[in-house]
Amino acid sequence: MRRPIIAGNWKMHKTSAEARRLITDLKQLVGGAQVEVVVCPPFTALAAAVAAAAGSNISVGAQDIFWEDEGAYTGEISGPMLKELGCRYCIIGHSERRQYFGETNATVKKKVQAAFRSELTPIVCVGETLAEREAGQTLEVCRRQVEEGLGDLTPEQVARLVVAYEPVWAIGTGKNATGEDAQEAIGYIRERLAAMYGREAADKCRIQYGGSVKPENIAEFMARPDIDGALVGGASLDPISFAAIVNTAAED
Ligand code: PGA
């Protein structure tokens, strides 16, 4: 049985003071929920978030990581730094990073290795653009992102990994994928992982859907056999809506 995981990607929102307030509110609303709950604030609010979440069922993740552990890489943040702060997760290869910051499957692969070196659980984002979907390339794009970004792992690492299938056209647009389309892509991703690392590892890997997830549509995704939770952007900035997503997911 895979334990569902609901993660909030705050993107470039919330100061430390705002993060503290949001997590304080969230703790009241999601205490005891039988799903894993993760919040991913900006780097500058991580310390405040870890302190605010202490003693609760909320874990903290970063939104990115650099692939080396230290060195002359101005502006970058490494795995050991995130680990020391108390982070447990790290989003890698979000489509906004691929689109605006030149991330590729090759950099994703190096970052996944770096996260595991520091005992952080990667949440690796994959998904097609609108043009790719319209050209019928959705599964091919996912195949390449999985094979190239998630190569050279051990089956044990794959069993601990989280993948987020996020169609780019669904992110921040209010237009979510249907449960059926998300299941098709996510089931396919699991089959690719099984071909690469074996059935047992693939069956343990948790795969989320992301892209305009809201309290109103989370149940549609949780009802699908291969969907193990959600990566939530906009709706994770409001404690009421994020808690509604968490608590609905916990009911399934
Ligand atoms: P959204 O973002 O929920 O605002 O669509 C999802 C994401 O970017 O992870």
The per-residue pLDDT for range 143-194, each reduced to its tens digit, is 999 999 999 999 999 999 999 999 999 999 999 999 999 999 999 999 999 9
Ligand 1 site, residue 177, Cβ cutoff 6 A: no
- Could you give all domains of the chain from N- to C-terminal order, each with its CATH number? 5-251 (3.20.20.70)
Pairing of strands 121-126, 89-92: parallel
Residue range 100-116: average pLDDT?
A: 98
Strand positions, DSSP E, the chain: 5-9, 36-40, 58-62, 89-92, 121-126, 162-165, 206-210, 229-232
Q: Report how far ligand 1's centroid is from the alpha carbon of 211 (Å).
A: 5
Residue 89 has pLDDT above 90, yes or no: yes
Distance CA 190, CA 185 (A): 9
| pLDDT given at position 1 | 82
Atom of ligand 1 nearest to the CA of 211: 5
Please count the other Cβ atoms lying within 10 Å of the Cβ belonging to residue 180. 9
Across the chain, mean pLDDT equals 97
Q: Report how far ligand 1's centroid is from the alpha carbon of 212 (Å).
A: 6
Ligand 1 site, residue 212, Cβ cutoff 6 A: yes
Ligand 1 site, residue 166, Cβ cutoff 6 A: yes
Q: What percent of the chain has pLDDT above 90? A: 97
The pLDDT confidence band at residue 33, using thresholds 50, 70 and 90, is confident
Global pTM? 0.98
Distance CA 214, CA 90 (A): 22
Which residues touch 21 (CB under 8 Å, ≥6 apart)?
Answer: none
Ligand 1 site, residue 167, Cβ cutoff 6 A: no
Pairing of strands 5-9, 229-232: parallel
Q: Which two three-digit tokens encode residue 244?
A: 């509604």
Q: Which two three-digit tokens encode residue 155?
A: 């089956």
Please report, to the nearest 10 degrees, the dihedral formed by the alpha carbons of residues 107, 108, 111, 116 taken in order: -150
Residue 217 has pLDDT above 80, yes or no: yes
3-class DSSP state of 210? strand
Atom of ligand 1 nearest to the CA of 231: 9
Ligand 1 site, residue 9, Cβ cutoff 6 A: yes
94 given a catalytic annotation: yes
Q: Measured between alpha carbons, how far is residue 39 from residues 3, 68, 102, 201, 218 in Å?
A: 17, 24, 25, 25, 17
3-class DSSP state of 161? coil
Q: Which two three-digit tokens encode residue 193?
A: 């992982």
| pLDDT given at position 37 | 98
Rounded to 5, what percent of the chain is helix, strand, coil?
Answer: 50, 15, 35
Tell me, what amino acid is at 38?
V
| pLDDT given at position 32 | 84
Q: Report how far ligand 1's centroid is from the alpha carbon of 157 (Å).
A: 25
